[in-house]
Copies of this chain bind each other. A is one copy, B any other.
Amino acid sequence: MSATIRDVAKEANVSVTTVSRVINNQPLVSEETRQRVLDAIDKLGFHPNAVARSLVNKKTHIVGLLIPDISNSFFSEVVRGMEDVASMHDYHVILCNTDQQLLTEARCVEVLREKQVDGLIFMSEQVTPQHESVFESSRLPVVLASTRDEHGRFPAVYVDGLNSSQAAVEHLISLGHTRIACISGPLKDLIAGKPRFDGYRQALAKFDIPFDPKLAQEGDFRFESGYRAMKRILQLPNPPTAVFAGSDEMAAGAINAALDSGLSVPGEISVVGFDNIRLAGMIRPKLTTIAQPMYEMGATAMGMLVEVMAGRVLKKTDVMLPGQLIIRDSTGPRR
């Protein structure tokens, strides 16, 4: 079918060794033979077979990406960062949607390993002991993105949820709000759930505002859960004047719920989100939020994985990126 290195060798009247040297730009070939080989390659339209090459090199230059759901804009932005850095280093990425199912995740690791990928990036709300054992028995370099394992066994990149959300809530407090609700993500999520909720409480504590459990609702980061949580909150006898949501989608849901209940935003109730997905600038009012450096997080994670795969040792195995408060139109002074 397609020409092989042997065909080229025959055509150029040299050995396969020499052809191999030429296609790998090794210096030990005379200019004249090199040219002859190049001509033969051209003539036959030869392309080296990366599979054969991988078999002997034991390197595929492919990395696996275990992502909950690529259609979620948070992940797709992160993945873009990963892919850009990967291709910068001549790596390609295999994408796997896991829906955070341990079984799916484990199966993916297994076949990726059979496919001899050079490394793995993992994203998921939790990294359980089962995860750790799956990763360890795969013997592959693994980097965690937007998550981390309890024991810090694997390098990880994530955003500082605690301080970021504290800043978000302090922003609300600085506007005069004292009755502030929180729509958090699942608290068992140790990166995007718990820390953001803790930041909320920490801000309250700092200003001696008592914590009212009724004002704390748990959602799942999605629009609908934000909408429903807000509806519940607004039925309270003594509703809040501001809401901090653990994700932009939930914040958008909350805003819609408020508007549907006839409240103006930020006139009667302020809302602040978390993530700064594209949506945040497109809804009305534009969302005040914490910008997560999603692209950068993906890029950083892939950068670390590349380092590890190159056999170098990481200077920092635990990278915490700062979030940034972006003040737009969904927050205003208490009236």
A62 to B115 alpha-carbon distance, docked (Å): 10
Q: Looking across the interface, which residue of chain B has its beta carbon closest to that of A60?
A: B51
A32 to B260 alpha-carbon distance, docked (Å): 70
Q: Which of A12-20, A33-41, A153-161, A276-284 contacts B (4 or more CB under 8 A)?
A: A276-284
Write the A189-223 contact mask toward B (1 if CB under 8 angstroms, else 0).
00000000000000000000000000000000001
A97 with B80, Cβ < 8 A, contacts A283-B282, A284-B256 known: yes
A96 in the interface (beta carbon within 8 A): yes
Contact B73 A70 (CB under 8 A): no
Q: Which of A86-94, A180-188, A312-320 contacts B (4 or more CB under 8 A)?
A: A86-94
A104 to B85 alpha-carbon distance, docked (Å): 15
Q: Looking across the interface, which residue of chain B has its beta carbon closest to that of A47?
A: B114
Q: Looking across the interface, which residue of chain B has its beta carbon closest to that of A281?
A: B223
Q: Tell me the dominant secondary structure on chain A's binding face.
A: helix
Contact A95 B79 (CB under 8 A): yes
Contact B84 A97 (CB under 8 A): yes
Write the A55-88 contact mask toward B (1 if CB under 8 angstroms, else 0).
1000010100100011111001101100110010
Write the A93-123 contact mask toward B (1 if CB under 8 angstroms, else 0).
1111100000000000011111110000000
A259 in the interface (beta carbon within 8 A): yes
Partner of A96, one of B50, B87, B115: B87
Contact B70 A92 (CB under 8 A): no
Residues of B within 8 A of A52 (CB): 55
A259 to B219 alpha-carbon distance, docked (Å): 31
A295 to B69 alpha-carbon distance, docked (Å): 13
Partner of A95, one of B77, B93, B111, B116: B93
A49 in the interface (beta carbon within 8 A): yes
Q: Looking across the interface, which residue of chain B has its beta carbon closest to that of A75?
A: B76
Contact B97 A83 (CB under 8 A): yes
Q: Looking across the interface, which residue of chain B has its beta carbon closest to that of A260?
A: B284
Q: Looking across the interface, which residue of chain B has its beta carbon closest to that of A93?
A: B95
Can you list 22 A-B pairs, Cβ within 8 angstroms, ordered by A? A48-B114, A50-B115, A51-B55, A52-B55, A65-B95, A70-B83, A71-B79, A73-B73, A73-B278, A83-B96, A83-B97, A84-B97, A87-B97, A92-B94, A92-B96, A92-B115, A223-B281, A249-B282, A252-B282, A278-B279, A279-B279, A282-B283
| A residues in contact (CB < 8 Å) with B | 2, 45, 47-52, 54-55, 60, 62, 65, 69-73, 76-77, 79-80, 83-84, 87, 92-97, 110-116, 137, 139, 223, 249, 252-253, 255-256, 259, 278-279, 281-284, 295
